[in-house]
Amino acid sequence: MIEFNYETDFKLNDEARVGFWITDVISKEGFKLEEVNYVFCDDAYLHRLNVEFLNHDTLTDIISFDYCVGHMIQGDIFISVERVKDNAKDYETDFNEELRRVVVHGILHYCGYKDKSKEDAQLMREKENLYLELYNSYVN
């Protein structure tokens, strides 16, 4: 089950499509979906979590709490809509495209992908691009 929660005025306009897509990504990676909760919030909300739970006094676009067991995907993914908007502007990309990149990024972490080294980050980006293409292949 995938749940979408909102701690800000933002709301996904295509929850069903995103839910189907993420379920498909998890399956293609050889995992099974248990439960993923997405929480869309603002910078202040995510900053509080970053300080309280991770001891990081910085802004970020995503924090994921991984409760996966074996190949069962479960966790909470918090996304700052403000950071995504700023990143889309900085990277000169569409907001919705950047948002989908962040949405799938959290899931890819649950599937075992890392992004700390240059090589790992490159593989993560390739997977993000692959799955963004998959999303775009679905009929509206």
Q: Is 47 annotated among the ligand-binding residues?
A: no
Bridge-based pairing state of the strands 2-6 and 62-66: unpaired
Q: Tokens standing for 16?
A: 């069903």
**Does 105 appear as a known binding residue?**
yes
Residues forming the annotated binding site? 105, 109, 115
Residues forming the annotated binding site for Zn(2+)? 105, 109, 115
